Amino acid sequence: MAKNIILIGFMGVGKGRTARALADRTRRYTVDTDDLIETMVKMKIRTIFAEHGEPYFRELEQRTADWLRKNVSNTIVSTGGGFFQVNNISKLGKIVYLHSSVEGILEAIMAHPKAEKKIKKRPLLQDLDQARALFKQRLPLYRKVSDIEISVEGRTIEDVADELQKRIKKL
Ligand code: S3P
């Protein structure tokens, strides 16, 4: 198993879009952990947090990680911003951290035509100061678990995916 590429990074940094662009270039499948969770429990992330709380959501992330480890290979996996905290994430594949400053991320979300929807669906983005604090706390942890770090700030998805395609070949 494994040989997957796991994209990690803060909310709104572009993990899903980058995963799709990379999957396209490398002719691999792509899956997203939040999508898998929503399908598994037939609830939106926002509802899971509101009705069952964050600890339950983290349990679902762990279940998803265990399932991926046993069943998925050769796939580009995009993840929720806190997924990197599951046990033994490195067993799932090579870990790529997509980096941008938190202000860069927040500005990009605010400037998006669907900004309201993007914020509404993310329970941990309701309070921007709390989001900034969360980023600060997570930054060293993202860096610690990753095999590759790539800066995405001010770059197009295509440009990032091109660089990633080259770099994962060397892993
Ligand atoms: C979370 C990020 C979200 C989602 C959930 C929790 C986090 O995914 O998994 O709201 O803990 O950072 P995105 O990174 O796709 O927004």
Which residue is closest in CA terms to ligand 1's atom 8?
Answer: 80
Beta strands in 10-144 (DSSP E): 29-32, 75-78, 93-99
Question: Which of 59, 122, 128, 142 best tests ligand 1's pocket when mutated (most atoms within 8 Å of CB)?
Answer: 122
Separation between Cα atoms, residue 113 and residue 97, nearest integer Å: 26
Q: Is residue 160 in some structural domain?
A: no
Residue 1 has what pLDDT?
54
Q: Is residue 103 in some structural domain?
A: yes
Residue 50 has what pLDDT?
98
Q: Is residue 43 in some structural domain?
A: yes
Q: Is residue 161 in some structural domain?
A: no
Q: Indicate yes or no: pTM above 0.85.
A: yes
Structural domain boundaries, residue 50: 5-153
Residue 75 has what pLDDT?
98
Which residue is closest in CA terms to ligand 1's atom 1?
Answer: 81
CATH number at 134 reads 3.40.50.300
Separation between Cα atoms, residue 75 and residue 7, nearest integer Å: 11
Q: Is residue 165 in some structural domain?
A: no
Per-residue pLDDT tens over the stretch 102-124: 999 999 999 999 999 999 999 99
Average pLDDT, the chain: 97
Beta strands in the chain (DSSP E): 4-8, 29-32, 75-78, 93-99, 148-151
Separation between Cα atoms, residue 45 and residue 5, nearest integer Å: 23
Distance 122 CA to ligand 1 centre (A): 6
What is the pLDDT averaged over residues 53-79?
98
Q: Which residues line ligand 1 (CB under 6 A)?
A: 11-12, 34, 45, 80-82, 122-124
Percent of the chain at pLDDT above 70? Answer: 99
- Nearest atom (ligand 1) to Cα of 78: 15
Separation between Cα atoms, residue 16 and residue 11, nearest integer Å: 10
Q: Name the nearest CA neighbour of 65 among 143, 2, 122.
A: 2
As for how many domains the chain has, the answer is 1
Q: Is residue 64 in some structural domain?
A: yes
Backbone angles phi, psi at 53, to 5 degrees: 90, 165
Residue 2's SS3 state is strand
